[in-house]
């Protein structure tokens, strides 16, 4: 077949018209999506006006997020019914991606808020104070001591439940000592908690209340920190009205002052 060179354009011309690189056009050729009409004696690739329209379709599909495989299928089965079906499937995929991104955004915002809170209270470390907290939900596993062995067992259970060991980066966790144990001066936990609703685990509600908070990174036994907190509560005319939560705030690990002993003690109180 005889070609009139002036009716075709080279790969350089096509790339300029489409505002893409020659490598992009060569990529589609290597993927067997679209190839030049012919190659001249000089080795140049030549494309037709019809192929210009095809390239525009390909670039548009890429902009919509179609993969190479999906583009091939689209170009091969080019009729309205199939095209509509493929577009609807892509729309479904995009919506799932949007949901994932929204979920990630929510987690990022939660992390930012946690970091802001920890930054704000840095100056309050070792000095108990009162703040109002709204109701929130968590879950718990039974635990009767602060032993590392028992803690690791519960953490491994959560690893298995989530099938993801990074849950410790996403949620705070720690121990709960019942109000009754506190009143009896028995400073042993009854629960290992996680600040997230976990299916098939016991739910735990952190009630709306005024809370006395102690942020500490002192290298001391839990009982010492609890005694300091309860003494401060008594001295300030307050009464304990709920369980004590001892929290390991995972986001604190981003602090330049990170200390593995850092804990948050919080307990609901009211005026005596």
Question: What are the tens digits of pLDDT across the range 73-118?
Answer: 888 877 888 888 888 998 999 999 999 999 889 888 887 887 787 7
The continuous run of DSSP H or E covering 211 comes out as strand 209-216
pLDDT at 247 over 50: yes
User: What's the pLDDT score for residue 78?
Assistant: 72
- Residue 87, Cα to own-chain centre: how many angstroms? 29
In 10 A of CB 256, how many CB atoms? 4
**Pairwise pLDDT comparison (179 vs 216), residue with the higher score:** 179
Tokens 């439940």 label which residue? 161
pLDDT at 1 over 70: no
pLDDT at 119 over 80: no
**Residue 49 neighbours by CB under 8 Å, 6+ apart:** 7
Residue among 107, 158, 145, 161 nearest 246 (CA): 145
Confidence grade of residue 6 (pLDDT, cut at 50, 70, 90): low
Mean pLDDT computed over 147-157: 93
pLDDT at 129 over 80: yes
Give yes or no for a contact between 251 and 238, defined as CB atoms under 8 angstroms apart.
no
User: Has this prediction a pTM greater than 0.75?
Assistant: no
């Amino acid at each position: 077949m005889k070609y009139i060179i002036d009716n075709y354009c080279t790969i350089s011309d096509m790339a300029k018209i489409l505002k893409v690189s020659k490598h992009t056009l060569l990529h589609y050729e290597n993927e067997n999506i679209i190839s030049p009409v012919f190659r001249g004696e000089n080795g140049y690739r030549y494309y037709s006006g019809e192929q210009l329209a095809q390239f525009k379709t390909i670039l548009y599909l890429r902009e919509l997020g179609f993969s190479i495989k999906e583009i091939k299928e689209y170009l091969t089965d080019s009729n309205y019914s199939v095209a509509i079906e493929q577009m609807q499937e892509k729309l479904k995929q995009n919506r799932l991606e949007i949901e994932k991104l929204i979920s990630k955004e929510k987690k990022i915002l939660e992390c930012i808020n946690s970091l802001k809170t920890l930054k704000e209270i840095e100056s309050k470390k070792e000095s108990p104070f009162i703040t109002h907290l709204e109701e929130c939900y968590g879950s718990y596993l039974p635990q009767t001591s602060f032993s590392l062995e028992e803690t690791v067992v519960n953490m491994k259970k959560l690893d298995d439940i989530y099938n993801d060991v990074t849950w410790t980066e996403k949620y705070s966790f720690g121990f709960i000592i019942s109000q009754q144990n506190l009143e009896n001066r028995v400073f042993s936990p009854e629960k290992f908690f996680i600040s997230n609703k976990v299916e098939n685990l016991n739910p735990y509600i952190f009630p709306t209340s005024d809370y006395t908070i102690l942020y500490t990174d002192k290298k001391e036994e839990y009982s010492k920190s609890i005694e300091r907190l309860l003494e401060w509560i008594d001295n300030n005319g307050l009464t304990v009205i709920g369980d004590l939560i001892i929290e390991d705030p995972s986001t604190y690990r981003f602090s330049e002052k990170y200390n593995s002993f850092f804990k948050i003690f919080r307990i609901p109180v009211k005026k005596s």
